Amino acid sequence: MSLRLINTETSQLIREVSRKLDSILFPISDNNNLTIMKMKVLMEVSKQGRVNIGEIGQSLGVAGGNISNMCKNLENEGYLVRERSQDDERVVEVSLTDKGEKVLDQVRTQINDKYHPYDANITDNEYKSIVDSLRSLNKHLDNLLEYK
């Protein structure tokens, strides 16, 4: 089973899906003067609320140092606030500013306006099937990581 999960076809499909999602998001991120990764960071912070930089990196699959620099840039641009954790001075937590919330509202509106007509082509069952399959793959890969 493990060979099937990590074969070239599976890996290639995952890369293609990721590349296509980035291609879909690029015009919107560019229109808002953000890189795709900066936009993903803002979306992740919005989803999680006040969150530490390590958690963002883990969620996005990016090294903590890279996320830390990106968060510094986003703070300098006025989208995020970075603060030391009250529980642990070594931990830096970030949250969205009003400007960050506003740009994400614009991003969401633009995504909805641009792609909503296509969204009607995917049934709820198809969407659920896609999500369920991805969750299943993720679970199996977690099991492989834990295998000794």
In sequence order, which residues have a C-beta less than 8 Å from that of residue 91 and are 6 or more positions away?
52, 53, 54, 84, 85
Instruction: Assess contact for 80 and 94: CB atoms under 8 A.
Output: yes
Residue 78: CATH number of its domain: 1.10.10.10
Query: What percent of the chain is predicted at pLDDT more than 70?
Result: 95
Q: What domain range includes position 19?
A: 2-146
Classify 51 as helix, strand or coil: strand
Asked if the model's pLDDT at residue 116 lies above 90, the reply is no
> Is residue 1 scored above 60 in pLDDT?
no
The span from the CA of 45 to the CA of 55, in Å, is 10
- Computed over every residue of the chain, the mean pLDDT equals 90
Q: Is 94 helix (H, G, I), strand (E, B) or coil?
A: strand
Q: How many structural domains comprise the chain? A: 1
pLDDT tens-digit profile of 26-54?
999 999 999 999 999 999 999 998 899 98
